């Protein structure tokens, strides 16, 4: 099985971080007792710009969870369709060539779910296997890619798509001035990314495709760690949960889990020439680099993605993958690892060969 297409889709509304910080000061007004603290948090996020689902002045018009969820549903369909079509085009496939669709999002809810709306909107085949995935946050892009790989391993004549679409800015809480929400207000952005995975017996995989071969996948769930990251969900919508323990948790667990995954395939970290790592934020990237003993060059694309887009939750690691495929493709035969962590708490790892 092989990644044969990958593409991102971002809203047209792009703003520099300084403008967003100023808009949030106006948004919170006198309730923001220490505006200099917001300045410092947003600077420390190391985000230069972000794409927003709506024009910046539209956010003050949203006063209920119903309104923000409706905006999520509308924009997610638009970005989702665009990302899937671009990934299919990258793979040289048509809409009717898709046999399975995995859709990940944690920033809104709908029933029928987003995947069903996209099947109708795009006229996808009626026998398509669909799997909506909610609640996994930042690990979602890697988790969805793992599920797509599982599917094409079972059905080697099929093509599967994973779509990760997140409208993080619509979850901002007007009445929450906690440090965690202030940090989130400077870190998260909006966008989507789609990946096509083709089974080993498909023509497109046999011809090489645009991306790497998937050799193996691995998952690790950490018991009793639900409080590290996620949402508190109430009548007011989503309130972010983000523990200060996260960097130390990564340092304590990740290296051993990656080593065990690689050892199961007769490999060590030194054998890996390419790392595609989720852009969780400065402290997360620093913790990953330290515990895995990686060089700056191994995380350069993740830092660049963080600066250009912010953290797009489930979509971020797939945007790093797109940049790798299009602009920084490793030498043929190079082994790579795609890696993300998120609510659960859990890790997803994918071993690839370029």
Write down the pLDDT at residue 28.
87
Residues 53/312, Cβ–Cβ less than 8 Å: no
- How many C-beta atoms surround the C-beta of residue 65 within 10 A? 18
Given this chain, do its domains 2-206 and 213-353 carry the same CATH topology?
yes
Q: What is the C-alpha to C-alpha distance for residues 179 and 160, in angstroms, rounded to an integer?
A: 40
State the pTM of this model.
0.94
Write down the pLDDT at residue 230.
78
Could you read off the pLDDT of 25-43 as tens digits, one per residue? 988 888 888 889 899 999 9
Write down the pLDDT at residue 110.
93
Helix, coil or strand: residue 150: helix
Write down the pLDDT at residue 109.
93
Q: Which of 138, 196, 341, 349 is catalytic?
A: 138
Question: Does residue 168 have an active-site annotation?
Answer: no
Q: Walk along the chain (354 residues) and give the pLDDT tens digit of each residue.
A: 999 999 999 999 999 999 999 999 988 888 888 889 899 999 999 999 999 999 999 998 898 989 999 999 999 999 999 999 999 999 999 999 999 999 999 999 999 999 999 999 999 999 999 999 999 999 999 999 999 999 999 999 999 999 999 999 999 877 888 888 899 999 999 999 999 999 999 988 877 777 999 999 999 999 988 777 777 677 777 777 777 888 899 999 999 999 999 999 999 999 999 999 999 999 999 999 999 999 999 999 999 999 999 999 999 999 999 999 999 999 999 999 999 999 989 999 999 999
Residue 25 in tokens: 């000061």
For the chain, the domains span: 2-206, 213-353
Which among 342, 329, 72 has a CA at the least distance from the CA of 209? 329
Write down the pLDDT at residue 173.
78
Residues ≥6 apart with Cβ < 8 Å to 260 = none
The domain 213-353 is placed in CATH, from the list 1.20.210.10, 3.30.200.20, 3.40.390.10, 3.40.47.10, at 3.40.47.10
Directed axis angle between helix 316-327 and helix 140-154, to 10°?
A: 70
Residues 230/343, Cβ–Cβ less than 8 Å: yes
Give me the DSSP letters along 171-194: G--TT--SHHHHHHHHHB-EEEEE
Write down the pLDDT at residue 228.
79
Write down the pLDDT at residue 244.
82
> CA angle, corner 231, sides to 100 and 162, nearest 5?
15
Domain 2-206 superfamily per CATH? Thiolase/Chalcone synthase (3.40.47.10)
CA 265 to chain centre: 26
């Amino acid at each position: 099985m092989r990644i044969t297409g990958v593409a991102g889709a971002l809203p047209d509304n792009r703003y520099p971080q300084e403008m967003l910080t100023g808009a949030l000061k106006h948004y919170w007004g006198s309730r923001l007792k220490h505006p200099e603290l917001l300045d410092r948090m947003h600077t420390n996020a190391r985000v230069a710009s972000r794409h927003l689902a709506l024009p910046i002045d539209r956010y003050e018009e949203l006063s209920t969870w119903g309104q923000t969820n409706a905006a999520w549903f509308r924009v997610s369909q638009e970005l989702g369709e665009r990302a899937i079509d671009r990934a299919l085009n990258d793979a040289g496939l048509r809409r009717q060539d898709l046999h399975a669709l995995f859709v990940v999002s944690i920033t809104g809810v709908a029933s029928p779910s987003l995947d069903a709306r996209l099947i109708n909107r795009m006229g996808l085949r009626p026998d398509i296997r669909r799997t909506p995935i909610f609640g996994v946050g930042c690990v979602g892009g890697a988790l969805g890619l793992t599920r797509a790989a599982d599917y094409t391993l079972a059905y080697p004549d099929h093509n599967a798509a994973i779509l990760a679409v997140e409208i993080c800015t619509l979850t901002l809480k007007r009445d929450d001035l906690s440090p965690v929400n202030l940090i989130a207000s400077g870190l998260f952005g909006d966008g989507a990314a789609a990946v096509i995975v083709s089974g080993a017996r498909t023509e497109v995989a046999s011809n090489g495709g645009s991306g790497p071969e998937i050799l193996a996948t691995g998952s690790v769930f950490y018991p009793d760690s639900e409080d590290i990251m996620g949402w508190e969900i109430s009548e007011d919508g989503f309130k972010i949960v983000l523990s200060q323990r996260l960097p130390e948790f990564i340092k304590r667990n990740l290296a051993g889990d990656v080593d065990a995954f690689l050892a199961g395939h007769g490999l060590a970290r030194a054998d890996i020439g390419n790392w595609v790592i989720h852009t969780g934020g400065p402290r997360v990237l620093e913790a990953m680099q330290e515990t895995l003993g990686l060089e700056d060059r191994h995380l350069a694309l993740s830092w660049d993605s963080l600066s250009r887009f912010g953290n797009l939750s489930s979509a971020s690691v797939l945007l790093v993958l797109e940049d790798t495929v299009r602009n920084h493709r490793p030498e043929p035969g190079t082994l790579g690892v795609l890696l993300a962590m998120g609510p659960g708490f859990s890790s997803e790892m994918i071993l690839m060969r370029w």
